Amino acid sequence: MKKFFITLSFFGLAVACAPEVTLSARDLQQIAEAAAEAAAEAAASAATNAVNTAFNAQDAANNAANQPPATLEHEGLITGNETWAAATTHFLNDKVVVADGAVLTIEPGTVIKGRASTTPEDAAALVIARGGKIYANGTADNPIIFTSEQDNLNGNLTSEDKGLWGGVIMLGKAKISIEGDGDDLQMEGIPAEDTYGLYGGNDDTDNSGVLKYISIRHGGANIGEGNEINGFTCGGCGSGTSISNIEVYANKDDGIEMFGGTANITNAIVWHVGDDSVDTDQAYSGTIDNVVIIKNTDPNGAFNGDHGLELDGAEGAYQAANPTYHTIKNITYKGGSGEIADLRDGVRVKIQNLYAFGMGSSEDIEIDEAVGKTNYDAGTIIFDDLELNDTRAANTIVVDKSSGSTVGISEDDIITVTSQSSGQGATTSVFGWTQASSSGALDF
């Protein structure tokens, strides 16, 4: 057997073999094969790591490219399907309009801010036109907030900061009752030349989409004398529309106004608005269920609000046939100015389960004109279970002024109390998600 005296080097490690080591050709072949295998494995591992690094870098680049921007500006017509991401703060410039056939989806937790305008008719607002749809499905943990660009969401604005932008306007194809008995009308707060402002029609089951867990703050810009934008306006919206858990705060004009239509609202809180808290018009025939109204009782008296409920009837021949009245029920009213409710213009309404407190000496519920008195006598104005926390007699708070003098209305279920009965008024616990709750405005 031949003897070899060698020095082996594996991956830079020199190993000096003693002269006495004797290796066969077979041993040498096995060592060479092991070295080659180890080198191949090292090369494969390095290649795999390089590929993974490249893929990770590409994924990071793709993720960065796909991240929503921090802010987006919106203006004009939305003509296709569009989603507004919660990771982005969205700004409204002038009117942003979801056009006929388009769908706007807004993610839970999204913040939308209206830009201020020096031109009144260009006040920022989100408008869902007839035939357009919105799916704004907020949650109690992640409500969708509409507010002013000036709002830092940390309390820099107060209840006196009103009219800083427009509001949210939803329009549909349900029946309305207007002078001249036309099918449609231009919505107040939208310039007459903008035809996307038309509302009304003949489809009482029309669906304009979903609004759920929505907070609307510091709006109500006027575009002209008597032509203002409410916090939330619903014109001719049908029963297919879903509206629930709505907050309107510090709006310069009305909080919520329903112009005709058949849409229902569940869980609404309106507080510290400058005019009426809830306003119904043009033969509105839906139901508004579980309502909290809080007047602003700041000592300076500014923007204390007018009517808690301003309820107007049909303007034309059309009257809702089924039901023959609309319903507002489960209401808690914290007063301090204006009136609890004003019933006028032939309204047909049922006011059910009301608890009112904190009123001034002139706050009342009044029927204003002769048609209203006729409706009351006919059973299309109904007062059902009204509880008034006041030292005045009940029939001095609920009155008929249709004859020019004040006549008290006395019913067994219209009573004065010194404390709220169990189950009376709204269920306020459902409003824990609102700014009203976090600010302490619901601590009563």
Predicted confidence band of residue 191 (pLDDT cuts 50, 70, 90): confident
The domain 77-439 having CATH identifier 2.160.20: the answer here is yes
> Both tokens of residue 44?
């494969």
Could you please report the per-residue DSSP string of 176-219? ---GGG-S-EEPTTS-TT-GGGEE--S-TT---EEEEEEEEES-
Domain segments of the chain: what residues? 7-65, 77-439
Could you report the per-residue pLDDT of 76-119, keeping only the tens digit for each?
999 999 999 999 999 999 999 999 999 999 999 999 999 999 88
- Rounded Cα distance between 232 and 251, Å, is 9
Q: What is the C-alpha separation between 245 and 102, in angstroms, rounded? A: 24
Backbone torsion region of residue 51, taken as left when φ is above 0, otherwise alpha when ψ lies between -120 and 50, otherwise beta: alpha
Strand partners, 15: 8
Q: Which has the closest alpha carbon to 284: 335, 323, 242?
A: 323
Say which residues have a Cβ less than 8 Å from residue 133's Cβ, sequence separation at least 6.
98, 102, 103, 104, 207, 208, 209
Average pLDDT, the chain: 91
pLDDT-derived band at 224 (thresholds 50, 70, 90) equals low
Q: How far is CA 96 from CA 73, 199, 224, 306, in A?
A: 10, 16, 19, 30
Q: What is the pLDDT of residues 113-129, one digit of tens each?
A: 999 998 888 999 999 99
**Least confident residue range of 32-36, 370-374, 398-402:** 32-36
DSSP 16-39: EPPTT----HHHHHHHHHHHHHHH
| Beta pairing partners, 32 | none
Q: CA–CA separation, 120 vs 117, rounded Å?
A: 7
For 287-344, write each residue's pLDDT tens digit.
999 999 999 765 555 557 899 999 999 999 999 877 889 999 999 999 988 999 999 9
